[in-house]
Structure 1
């Protein structure tokens, strides 16, 4: 019974880590292109814009 919270914690930790890596990849792609005014080139870049608040509305 004590292993269930441990497994849930590990799964949530892995999900946070994967999300962090995706945002970092997207930020690096945006940094190379210097193009925050247009449509994001990849999904990772779009996720990075959403998380950091630099997304284009419209």
Structure 2
């Protein structure tokens, strides 16, 4: 099964896999950095679980 570049849909270049070019890889990175992509999480996932351990000490 072969899929296209997730940014533009063109055939994937093995050198930039899973993208077709450095440009599309950079576009994808910029989307992550500007919060256009988010990983869904449950309620309360905003808190750092390690911070509770630090405060207990």
State TM-score, norm by structure 1: 0.28
TM-score, with length taken from structure 2: 0.29
Structure number with higher helix proportion:
1
Higher relative contact order (CA 8 A, sep 6+): 1
